[in-house]
A and B are shown apart, each in its own frame.
Chain A
Amino acid sequence: MRKVYVAGVGMVKVGKHVDKSLRDLAGEAALKALEEAGNETPEAIVVGNMLSSLVEQENLASLIGDHIGLRGACGFKVEGACGSGGAALMTGYSLVASGLFSKVLVVGVEKLFERPSNDVIRGLAYAADADYELIYGITFSGLNALLMRYYMNKYGVKYEELAYWSVLMHKNGYKNPYAQLRNEITLEDVLKSPVIADPIRLYDSCPLSDGASAALLVSEDLRKATDTPVSIAGVSNSIDSVDLSSRLELDHLLASRVSAENALRIAKVSLREVDIAEIHDAYTITAALSIESIGFVEKGKAPKAWSEGRFSPGDKPSLNLSGGLKSRGHPVGATGVYQLAEVVMQLRGDFPGVSVPAEVGLTQNIGGAGSNITTIILRR
């Protein structure tokens, strides 16, 4: 396999973009990434997206590729629910590593604010099992609420300990110019926010978001031309059951552990060497399960750890310097590509928000309630 480098990244500010369409958002991020990479023309475009059918648009690689002048290039969309961006990166990586192409553009994009929110909430629940879960009216928040109550009950973790994660994320995201929710919040704000799916409150949850992020992945021979120091040292994707009913464990994400172990092994990096990570905190419980399943702390210990200052900027690892899904936002199929762009900028030393010196970074992008997970190791 050939080494793969990230030659350029581009992000659009996450938020509600009434004035921008899906193709506008994707095109803006893509052209930024190409510009950073010396305006190279990619041979292939891989699009990460979950819900473009909500805006009656599929065939995204052709739509976006043509919009930015890539007629004749290879292109397709990759879908893995909220983990679509990570899955698209894994696909783009494979196209370069295999030697099939030398320049592959990966674009993650999501456009949610085109439809009323109850339509969007239903759409997000497409990541659940339609026949055996959605038929009862479950929502995505509802599935995570089931995991959260189970976890709190099993480990005796208090709601407030989990909720404190949101406070920490807003503190980081406050300084990120690409973040959607750039306001600091207190624990009391979280406790007073309305219940969405008990025990999950509004401020335990990421917001609904529009956004797009892109990265140009290149082979070693193009590394010098584009002058990048950052390589994708390892990447792995793993699946688990969509339905929660047949999971072997409800307090552990199998696909998180497996994809992290594989990515670290491929990168020849130990978990202790990871300086920074962007993890997928769609809900505070998702943060806890991701942190524990990767292996940063033991089961049931993550909330106590972050309440005591672990994972804060400067600690090893520092987690979610971007503000995470909670504050940066969660443009579903784009999120995995945002995580990559943020870590690449951290490793290059030019992230415009909270930043720390770092050599090794990890991203973990989660689809469904833990059913499709991609872990990436980046190195400078």
Chain B
Amino acid sequence: MTTLQRVWRLKNTILNLVASRCSSCGYITYPPKMRCPVCGSRELREEALPREGEVLSYTVIQVPAKGFEDFTPIIIALVRLGDAKVLSEVVDIKPENMSVGMRVVATVRRSAETIDGGVPYVVKFKPLKL
């Protein structure tokens, strides 16, 4: 179970979707790393990902982990944002309307309560309405 302090520490990467881009080979990773997983370079720079993207894969969790009972069924997707991928929850949609390839946009929503009683806000995704 997470804590307020832990979520606070992650506020920049999670809320602004900050990835790390390798200055040597160009590989981009989210979550950010300290050394490039492809070429080993330590010359990485922070880069905010686009907030719109496409669902690469998704699941609908029916049997939750402790602490997420109120959110179940939980739709979790791997979303392609520019050159990177981000895993998060998809909201404002019924599970049966989900599809691979659908366009989604980042939105700030509440997450499950921390063990010290805080209500953290994180980035989730919702369907992009054109």
Chain B minimum-CB-distance residue to A146: B57
- The reply to whether B87 and A132 contact each other, CB–CB distance below 8 Å, is yes
Contacting residue for B2 out of A130, A150, A245, CB 8 A: A130
Chain A positions within 8 Å of B82 at CB level: none
CB of A131 within 8 A of CB of B6, answer yes
A195 within 8 A of B: yes
- B112 on the interface (CB 8 Å rule)? yes
| Given A197-B62, A198-B95; A250-B67 close (CB under 8 Å) | no
Do the beta carbons of A246 and B37 come within 8 Å of each other?
yes
Give the docked Cα–Cα distance between A248 and B68 (Å): 29
Residue in contact with B65 in the complex, picked from A122, A153, A246, CB distance below 8 Å: A122
**Main SS class of interface, B:** mixed
- CB <8 Å contact, A137 and B71: yes
The reply to whether B88 and A139 form a contact with Cβ atoms under 8 Å apart is no
Complex alpha-carbon distance, A244 and B78, angstroms = 8
- A137 touching B37, Cβ below 8 Å: no
Number of interface residues of A (CB under 8 A): 40
CA distance A121 to B64 in the complex (A): 8
Query: Given A142-B61, A243-B31, A248–B38 Cβ distance below 8 Å?
Result: yes
A245 near B66: Cβ-Cβ < 8 Å: no
Given contacts A137-B71, A246-B37, contact A125 B65 (CB under 8 A): yes
Q: Residues of A at under 8 Å CB distance from B?
A: 116, 118-119, 121-122, 125, 129-139, 141-142, 145-147, 149-150, 153, 194-200, 241, 243-248, 250
**11 A-B interface contacts by CB (under 8 A):** A121-B63, A121-B66, A137-B64, A137-B67, A137-B89, A138-B61, A147-B57, A150-B56, A194-B62, A200-B59, A245-B30
